[in-house]
């Protein structure tokens, strides 16, 4: 009569794994869930920032009055992002222009400082969560590897109590250990891909904001 084969299903291997390996798996699953939450949130926020920038630039370059556009931005017509950068620069420019002793260079420099400060705040918000994705992408494989090493060590240690060691006796322990590495890769790969994608999108958006600030500064210089 043939000996019954061991149940090597993923669920069984996870449930029968040692406590340290199970702890590693739980940690990696939690990291994966948290990273996917960040990924979806970043997808929404970056797409929204691009749409708002498109709408604002279309209105800005349509040839309308800057003061009318300034009033609409103040009423929240174009959301945040690039519109707020314009609003900060325009407000500082108007405030300095009301001062009798303010010269053109002072007004332009004040407008640039205000725009740069607001631009930094906008991108601080957009970049929120990216360090977490980078951390998950870099450490998850090593955490999974730790679980694998521990599981394999535990499997081979158990052979000391077996008189006749066979592949069937050590296979479940090795299989449950390798699951930790698989979960680590499952957590790391999406985080790395998303981080690289979002970093590229934010770099392009940053260059777009920088170009607008230069062009707007030139417009203010000509108008003054």
Q: How confident is the model at residue 2 (pLDDT cuts 50, 70, 90)?
A: very low
Residue with tokens 């077996």: 162
3-state helix, strand, coil in the chain (%, to 5): 85, 0, 15
Number of neighbouring beta carbons within 10 Å of residue 106: 13
How far is it, in rounded angstroms, from Cα 110 to Cα 153? 64
pLDDT-based confidence at residue 1 (cuts at 50, 70, 90): very low
pLDDT (tens digit per residue) in 48-66: 999 999 999 998 888 778 8
For 79-91, what is the mean pLDDT? 89
Is residue 140 within 8 Å of 184, Cβ to Cβ?
yes
Q: What are phi and psi of 155, to 5 degrees?
A: -65, -45
Please give the structure tokens belonging to residue 124.
Answer: 């601080």
- Residue 77 confidence (pLDDT): 79
> Which among 145, 148, 135 has a CA at the least distance from the CA of 188?
135
pLDDT band at 128 (very low <50, low <70, confident <90, very high): very high
> pLDDT by residue (tens digit) across 139-152?
999 998 888 888 78
Regarding pTM above 0.85, the answer is no
Q: Is the pLDDT of residue 4 over 50?
A: no
141: nearest Cα among 194, 190, 175 = 190
Eight-state DSSP code of residue 79:
-
Q: What is the pLDDT of residue 44?
A: 94
Domain ranges of the chain: 19-223
Of 211, 204, 202, give the one whose Cα is nearest residue 86: 211
Supply the mean pLDDT for the chain. Answer: 84
Closest CA to 148 of 16, 9, 12, 24: 24
Would you say residue 110 has pLDDT above 70?
Answer: yes
How many angstroms from the chain centroid is the CA of residue 117? 22
């Amino acid at each position: 009569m043939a000996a019954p084969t061991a149940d090597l299903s993923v669920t069984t291997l996870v449930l029968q794994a040692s406590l340290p390996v199970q702890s590693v798996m739980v940690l990696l699953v939690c990291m994966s869930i948290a990273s996917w939450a960040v990924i979806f949130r970043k997808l929404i926020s970056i797409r929204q920032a691009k749409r708002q920038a498109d709408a604002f630039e279309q209105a800005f370059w349509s040839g309308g009055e800057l003061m009318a556009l300034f009033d609409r931005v103040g009423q929240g017509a174009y959301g945040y992002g690039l519109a707020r950068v314009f609003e900060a620069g325009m407000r500082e420019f108007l405030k300095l222009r009301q001062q009798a002793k303010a010269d053109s260079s002072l007004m332009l420099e004040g407008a640039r400082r205000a725009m740069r400060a607001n631009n930094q705040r906008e991108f601080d918000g957009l970049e929120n969560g990216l360090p977490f994705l980078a951390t998950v992408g870099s450490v998850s494989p090593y955490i999974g590897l730790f679980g694998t090493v521990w599981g394999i060590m535990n499997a081979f240690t158990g052979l000391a109590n077996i008189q006749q060691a066979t592949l069937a006796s050590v296979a479940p322990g090795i299989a449950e250990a390798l699951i930790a590495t698989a979960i680590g890769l499952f957590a790391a790969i999406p985080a790395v891909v998303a981080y690289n994608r979002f970093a590229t999108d934010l770099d392009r958006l940053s260059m777009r904001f920088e170009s607008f600030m230069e062009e707007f500064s030139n417009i203010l210089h000509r108008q003054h």
